[in-house]
Amino acid sequence: MKGVIVTGASSGIGKAIALRFAKEGAFVALVARSEDKLKENVKEIEGLGGKAVYYTADVRDFKRAEEIVKDFHQKAERIDVLVNNAGATRDKFLIQMKEEDFSEIVDINLKGTFNFSRAVSRIMLRQKGGVIINISSVVGITGNPGQANYAASKAGIIAFTKSLAKELGSRNIRVVAVAPGFVETKMTESLPEDVKKAYLETIALRRFASPDDIAGVVAFLASDDASYISGQVIVVDGGMI
């Protein structure tokens, strides 16, 4: 049974990814801060006949990441896949952006990705195999006004991914980034209708992504069908950029 860790698995894309892996027969560890939602998601997976556990954590906490990985490794015996999906936004123009708006977003999105990658890497090196999938964003490629903190963190994830792919590839560890466009989740639901409409007009497929659109690509990248893909950024944006 594959052992899979998904951060930010309490809602949105992370929840869809966790469900997808569980349906494919993996043992999944769901990580986030909201215990109630994590519990519900584990119940949902168990209801489908799948196997899952949850861990409450703030991904900014390096020691907690190590604890979780150690504990899950004992339970699952293997860690085949890590999906660094936890992420947050604090959208503001630079002139209004406070120091903590910048550091908080970089800490959650980029350092959180480092924390869990660092923790699983030792195990994957010993296993001589594994896949790390980092959820970036198209704005990490294009930039976006009002999102300098978020875009910088997501661009950082891309450089981090490419570096790890080169470092770990000789041990059969693949590292890939996924850059979604506009996905309908809690993160995007509060955007004003006129902003959503303007985004929609830039999307070739003229629809927003569902979390399952992203989960399917993540599942493919984790599978043996993608065994020769590493160090790449897979854009999943319906033809937006």
Min dist CB 196 to ligand NAP, Å, is: 11
Return the number of the residue (37 or 171) whose C-beta is nearest ligand NAP: 37
In the complex with ligand NAP, the residue whose CB is nearer, 12 or 127, is 12
Question: Which of 59/173 has CB closer to ligand NAP?
Answer: 59
Comparing CB distances to ligand NAP, the nearer of 133 and 168 is 133
**CA distance to 65, 70, 127, per residue, from 137 (Å):** 23, 29, 30
Residues 105 and 91: beta-carbon distance below 8 Å? no
Shortest distance in whole angstroms from residue 170 CB to ligand NAP: 28
- For the bound state, the minimum distance from the C-beta of residue 181 to ligand NAP, rounded and expressed in Å, comes to 6
User: What's the closest the beta carbon of residue 171 comes to ligand NAP, in angstroms?
Assistant: 26
Identified catalytic residue from 54, 55, 150, 228: 150
Closest CA to 207 of 183, 241, 179, 234: 183
Q: Is 150 a catalytic residue?
A: yes
Reported for 185-194, long-range contacts at CB under 8 A and 24+ positions apart, including other chains, are 185/11, 185/12, 185/13, 185/211, 186/11, 186/12, 187/12, 187/87, 187/88, 187/89
CB nearer to ligand NAP: pick between 112 and 127: 112
Q: Which residues bind ligand NAP (CB under 6 A)?
A: 8-14, 32-34, 37, 57-60, 85-88, 108, 135, 137, 180, 182-183, 185-188
Tokens 């450089």 correspond to what residue?
A: 159
Q: Give min distance, CB of 124 to ligand NAP, in A.
A: 21
Catalytic annotation, residues? 150
